[in-house]
Amino acid sequence: MSKNKEYLIKRGNSEYEVIIGLEVHAQVLSKSKLFSDSATNFGAEPNTQVSLVDAAFPGMLPVINEFCIKQAVKTGIGLNASINIKSIFDRKNYFYADLPQGYQISQYKDPIVGEGSILLDLPDGEKKVGIERLHLEQDAGKSIHDIDPQNTLVDLNRSGVALMEIVSKPDLRSPEEVNLYIKKLRSIMRYLGTCDGNMQEGSLRADVNVSIRKTGDKKLGTRCEIKNVNSIKFMQMAIEYEANRQADILEEGGSIDQETRLFDTKKNETRSMRSKEDAHDYRYFPDPDLLPLELTEDFISKIKKEIPELPDEKKKRFVDKFKLTPYEANILVSDIETSKYFEDVIKNSDIKLATNWITGELFALLNDRNLEISESPISSKNLSTLINLIKDGTISGKIAKTVFEIMANESKDPKNIIDEKGLKQQSDPKEIEKIVDAVIKENPKNVELFKSGKDKLFGFFVGQVMKKTDGKANPKLVNDILKKKLN
């Protein structure tokens, strides 16, 4: 990587490198909670998805939901990580109104998934980011402070929902790498169906660890942890702010306090939440209500068989088999639905054209209307037909854009649109020659100028021909014939 592409914080003569590690909390895609059979639907009426276990009634006991275990193992495999045959659920003890048990069941020393990695696609190559671990834990409920002026209200619907905490190594170096990391992680989990990655609904949030050190230094600086950031944009803003804050302190000869900070999205700044001295003593110990979790090789190998082709493999296949550029392949594989759509389209049509139309026109359309590809008004079948109509010369690329616009609004078969609107391309050379002759005849002055060297006027003649044919003339034929006649 060339020096000038690095993300560095400059202060006077000093340059600081930014070291970032993420603890991502990903909600496990599961109909029921980690230790109870309550539902997990987002947006349900408060306290309607709460069992006696979730509300920690006396004598209630947790029972592991096997599906959540499966999801965690699946995610571990997707992160190229080692799966721990034996893992232990611990209690993390602290008091809070939305934590009914007075402890969170989590995994402390023995997580279900060990070290793995994620591959990022940077403009100048790939970068491997280490995964430290993945562990399962319960989510807490929600304290609501802004409904009642006097009281805090508690909603326990989220209490006990399964989360995967995915901890990266401190391998990230810029806000952009964080962006790519989160997107890649989300993409992998969506491929696997283990987390919907919906950040608006809180299914994916992260604690961001930031430290800085002078370029060339080997030793890591003191880090600050920014808690519970729930969008990529905010993560990037928080890192930017925090790195600069730390650089200011160091530059003035100060030192960084290890602390937990909050990101204020309105003021775009991080604020101290609690110092290391005030850190909770969580008094972790193995939950005596749960036996150590022991997986069988058979359980793991069955899950391995269910792993679909993941983004990295798919990208490789797209490059090798379809001759896409790595850049194009990346765009098409980042979302599993997009990759499916693409593969549907190219079953019966030209790959190059399909790539351009999907990454160009279709993405613009979806972006414009804020739609997922699964909601596209243009089906993969219709897009495939359109591409074939371009390929066989039935319509020009330009007309195709008009047809595409109509398809976007009417979701019709492009063939019907072309028939209805009479948009079929004129490809009879004799017909085009007649029109070209007419245009030359009508514009003697411009013909004169063109012949005297004003080459740019060629476009004018093409335009005139197109005008006379409502844009339907085959552009290649028009060009050829015009060239012949004018020279």
Partner 1 sequence: MSDIINLTLSALINKIKKKELSSREITNAYITRAEKSKNLNTYITTDFENAIEKAKKFDEKGNFNYKLPGIPLAVKDLFCTNNLKTTAGSKILSNFIPSYESTVTQHLWDEGAILLGKLNCDEFAMGSSNETSFFGNVESPVGKKVVPGGSSGGSASALAGKLTPATIGTDTGGSIRQPASFTGTVGLKPTYGSCSRYGIVAFASSLDQAGPMTQDVSDAALMLDVISKYDTKDSTSVNFKRGDYFKSLSSNIKGKKIGIPKEYRVDGMPKEIENLWQDGITLLKKLGAKIIDISLPHTKYALPAYYIVAPAEASSNLARYDGVKYGYRSEGENLISMYENTRSEGFGDEVKRRIMIGTYVLSSGYYDAYYLKAQKIRRLIKNDFDEAYKSVDVILTPSTPSSAFKIGDKTDDPVSMYLNDIFTVPVNLSGLPAISIPAGKDKNNYPLGLQLIGKAFEEQNLLNISYSMEKELSFKNNLQDWWIK
Query: What whole-number distance in Å separates Cα of residue 16 and Cα of residue 375?
Result: 45
Rg of the chain taking only CA atoms, in angstroms: 30
Interface pick for partner 1 out of 102, 308, 360, 397 (rule CB under 8 A): 102
160 touching partner 1, by CB under 8 A: no
Least distance in Å: CB of 170 to partner 1? 23
Out of 5, 10, 31, 57, point to the residue binding partner 1 (CB under 8 A). 57
Number of chain positions touching partner 1 (CB under 8 A)? 30
Cα separation values, 186 from 15, 355, 470, Å: 32, 23, 47
Stretch that binds partner 1, among 52-60, 232-240, 383-391, 436-444 (CB under 8 A): 52-60
**Contact string (CB under 8 A) for partner 1, positions 60-79, x = contact:** xxxxx---------------
**Residue 288 touches partner 1, criterion: CB under 8 A:** yes
- Binds partner 1 (CB under 8 A): choice among 215, 271, 285, 442: 285
Q: Which of 31, 233, 283, 476 binds partner 1 (CB under 8 A)?
A: 283
Tokens of 388: 């074939």
As measured in angstroms, the least distance from the Cβ of 163 to partner 1 is: 20
Contact 457, 486 (CB under 8 A): no
Please tell me the distance from the alpha carbon of residue 226 to that of residue 325, in angstroms, as a whole number.
Answer: 37
Instruction: Examine residue 149 and tell whether it contacts partner 1 (CB under 8 A).
Output: no
What tokens were used for 292? 């150590």
Out of 1, 97, 122, 371, point to the residue binding partner 1 (CB under 8 A).
97
Report the residue from 126, 289, 337, 470 that binds partner 1 according to the rule CB under 8 A. 289
Give, rounded to a whole angstrom, the gap between the first and last alpha carbons of the chain.
52
Q: Two tokens at 248?
A: 């200011």
Q: Is 429 in the site for partner 1 (CB under 8 A)?
A: no
Of 91 and 315, nearer to partner 1 (C-beta) is 91
Q: Is 277 in the site for partner 1 (CB under 8 A)?
A: no
Burial class (CB in 10 A: 0-12, 13-18, 19+), 330: middle
Rank residues 66 and 252 by Cβ distance to partner 1 and give the closer one: 66
Which range in 164-172, 199-207, 281-289, 417-425 contacts partner 1 by CB under 8 A? Answer: 281-289
Length of the chain: 487
**Applying CB under 8 A, which part among 15-23, 51-59, 190-198, 218-226 lies near partner 1?**
51-59
- State how far the Cα of 120 lies from the Cα of 287, in Å rounded to an integer: 37
Please state, in angstroms and rounded to a whole number, the distance separating the CA atoms of residues 7 and 280: 34
453 in contact with partner 1 (CB under 8 A): no
Name residues contacting partner 1, limited to 468-487 (CB under 8 A): none
CB 19 within 8 A of CB 214: no
What is the rounded CA–CA span in Å between residue 160 and residue 137?
Answer: 8
Is 182:232 a contact under the CB 8 Å cutoff? yes
Spatial neighbors of 89 by CB under 8 A, at least 6 apart, are 64, 105, 106, 107, 136, 286, 287, 290, 293
Residue 189: strand, helix, or coil: helix
Binding partner 1 (rule: CB under 8 A), the pick from 80, 93, 228, 359 is: 93
Among residues 93 and 265, whose Cβ is nearest to partner 1?
93
Give the binding range for partner 1 (CB under 8 A) out of 279-287, 344-352, 374-382, 399-407.
Answer: 279-287
CB of 40 to partner 1, least distance (A): 20
Q: Hey, is 225 helix, strand or coil?
A: strand
Nearest to 228 by CA among 206, 209, 250: 206
By CB under 8 A, residue 37 contacts partner 1? no
Least distance from partner 1 to the Cβ atom of residue 155, Å: 13
List residues near partner 1 by CB under 8 A: 52, 55-64, 91, 93, 95-97, 100-103, 152, 154, 281, 283-285, 288-291
